[in-house]
Amino acid sequence: MAVIAFIGNGNMGGPMAANLLKAGHDVRVFDRVPEAATKTGGKVAASIAEAVAGADLVFTMLPAAKHVKEVYGGSKGVFLHAPKGALLIDCSTIDVDSARKLNVDATGRGFAMLDAPVSGGVAGATAASLTFMVGGSDEAFARARPVLAAMGKAIVHAGPAGNGQAAKICNNMILGISMIAISEAFSLGERLGLEPKTLFEISSKSSGQCWALTSNCPVPDIVPTAPSSHDYAPGFTGDMMLKDLKLAQMAARGVRAETPLGSEATAIYAEFAERGHGHEDFSAIIRMMKNYAGKQID
Ligand code: NAD
């Protein structure tokens, strides 16, 4: 069993650290909000330096790139305090360029590093059923895999550094676009006199089938576990979807890839956030649709 530092113990990092503990690892946790760290059940460290002392692996699960850069590169950060030979694994969702630059910095300081963002949300983090998309060397991936298996059920090596983040933003661009597509189709269907339950029954068994429809259906009371059936309590917030869509647009500009639907989805989720609904589940986007007969938002 390994000595593991886990930095960032919020909605995702908290249950992930708890699952490492459950698997028998010696887990030291650090969060700038001490109560978040306490909830994990791991040994609460007073600083990053204390958390990473003697660690075989260091995990981070932080909101955005600026936090990740600070936690690794800052004067109190991981690069200065982790033992040489520790494997560094960032599970946060950040932009591809920052992930690649961080990997170069880590390598220059003698560390192996992986970007390993996840899909599956808080439910997946709690149930240890996350999908990990991993970027980095074959050797580092082989070393990380058995530890990642305590937190996820699909662990995929996406290629060299940054490719985990590339996979994550491409996947979430599909998700954002498909949620808008499902919302448009159900709103149109209602205008045409189709019962939403009937359209669901048909589309969930037809070529329109996708996760946004069958697991996260935006129309309430069709899928009992979907956030829409619980007043759109997240789930995955509109703000997080907007963050990932913006990362995808940033990456697309960098490589001159055309993503017209990704661009439109970004504009739609930006409007959703501007109207004050970014804290709701991203499926609440259906309430912005002009044809939707259910409760619309202002
Ligand atoms: P969160 O805000 O709940 O947790 C982040 C934690 O990091 C907080 O507890 C915060 O106090 C801590 N933190 C921030 N800066 C810090 C610092 N300098 N030092 C120590 N701790 C610090 O966020 P989350 O929902 O757990 O998401 C984390 C990452 O996972 C994000 O990049 C997000 O995009 C990604 N993600 C989230 C979900 C989801 O459904 N929540 C799903 C997939 C991926």
Which of 7, 9, 11, 79, when mutated, tests ligand 1's pocket best, judged by the most ligand atoms within 8 Å of its CB? 11
State the Cα–Cα distance between residues 56 and 97, nearest whole angstrom: 26
Q: Which residue has the higher pLDDT, 235 or 220?
A: 220
Q: Is 121 in the pocket of ligand 1 (CB under 6 A)?
A: yes
Q: How far is CA 9 from the centre of its chain?
A: 14
From first CA to last CA, the distance across the chain in angstroms is: 53
Kindly report whether the global pTM for this prediction surpasses the value 0.85. yes
Q: How many C-beta atoms surround the C-beta of residue 176 within 10 A?
A: 26
Kindly provide the b/e burial profile for residues 187-213, where b requires at least 16 CB atoms within 10 angstroms of the residue's own CB.
bebbeeeeebeebbeebeeeeeebebb
- Across all residues in the chain, what is the average pLDDT? 97
**Contact 72 CB / ligand 1 (< 6 Å):** no
C-alpha 98/C-alpha 103 separation (Å) is: 9
Does the CB atom of residue 118 touch ligand 1 within 6 A? yes
Position 297 pLDDT exceeds 90: no
* pLDDT reading at 180 higher than 90: yes
Topology given in CATH for the domain delimited by 166-292: N-(1-d-carboxylethyl)-l-norvaline Dehydrogenase; domain 2 (1.10.1040)
CATH architecture type of domain 3-160: 3-Layer(aba) Sandwich (3.40)
Q: How confident is the model at residue 160 (pLDDT cuts 50, 70, 90)?
A: very high
Please list, residue by residue across 230-256, b when 16 or more beta carbons sit within 10 angstroms of its beta carbon and e when fewer do. eebebbbbbbbbbbbbbbbbebbeeee
Q: How confident is the model at residue 298 (pLDDT cuts 50, 70, 90)?
A: confident
Domains 3-160 and 166-292 share a fold: no
Domain boundaries, the chain: 3-160, 166-292
- Ligand 1, atom 44, lies closest to the CA of 118
Element holding 243 (H helix, E strand): helix 238-254
Q: Which of 237, 244, 235 is nearest to 65 (CA)?
A: 244
Q: Is 183 in the pocket of ligand 1 (CB under 6 A)?
A: no
Span 168-194, average pLDDT: 97
233 CA → ligand 1 middle, Å = 18
Percent of the chain with pLDDT strictly greater than 70:
100
168 flagged as catalytic: yes
Residue carrying the six token digits 């298996």: 149
